[in-house]
Copies of this chain bind each other. A is one copy, B any other.
Amino acid sequence: MDRFVSNTINRVDKKGRVSIPASFRAVLGDQSKLHAILSVERPVIEAGGAEFLESNLQRLSQMDPLSEEYEMWSFCLVGDADELKIDTEGRIILSDQIREHTGITDQVAFVGRGHFFQLWEPAEFQAYRERARDAVRKMRRSLGAGNTQKVSDFPTGSARSDPSGSGEGQS
């Protein structure tokens, strides 16, 4: 297991602690801290271990250090980030900054995204999930409209599974 996959909702205790899902801890290995940044697009936190931090720095290194672009990115990716210590039981304490940015109060949705994972306020996550599924459904259909080929290989809802193409009406 080397990627963050799937999602789980965990509770935040009175001390402000939350358990990182066991499967995510497995990916992190023995690392004792998490690198977390505030998404500039959505009310979500994106986090990961050293590898995640590296990939961000990597991106910065490809920009001109004197550019405005670099200044902004670096500010967000490094300056406006958090280092969260992972305690003995595999829990972290969310900073005020994180809580304000996400709206998280007593529950956190951990969502695997491959080489990093996200922290959402459950309701926000649910809403976003629906938007995403909707968007994907539309993309598949527009693809399928003129070209069955491409779509045919896609599982997820396989447009091909129902040769008719009419087989919608899924209750």
Contacts and interface: CB of A to CB of B under 8 A. Distances in A.
Interface bracket on A: 35 or more
A171 B40 CA distance: 13
Given A35-B5, A39-B158, A82-B6, A72 B116 contact: no
Interface of A: 1, 3-7, 23, 35, 37-43, 46, 48, 52, 55-57, 59, 68-69, 71-83, 97, 111-114, 116, 118, 124, 128-129, 131-140, 153-159, 161-168, 170-171
Nearest to A41: B157
A128 B35 contact: no
Nearest to A150: B59
Nearest to A133: B40
B69 A132 contact: no
Nearest to A48: B155
A134 B132 CA distance: 23
21 contacts: A3-B78, A5-B83, A6-B81, A7-B80, A23-B83, A37-B156, A40-B133, A40-B140, A41-B158, A72-B136, A74-B114, A75-B132, A76-B132, A77-B156, A79-B112, A113-B161, A128-B162, A135-B163, A135-B166, A136-B163, A136-B164
A167 B131 contact: yes
A46 B132 contact: no
Query: Which 7 pairs show the lowest CB-CB distances between chains A and B?
Result: A135-B164, A41-B157, A39-B157, A46-B155, A72-B135, A75-B132, A79-B111
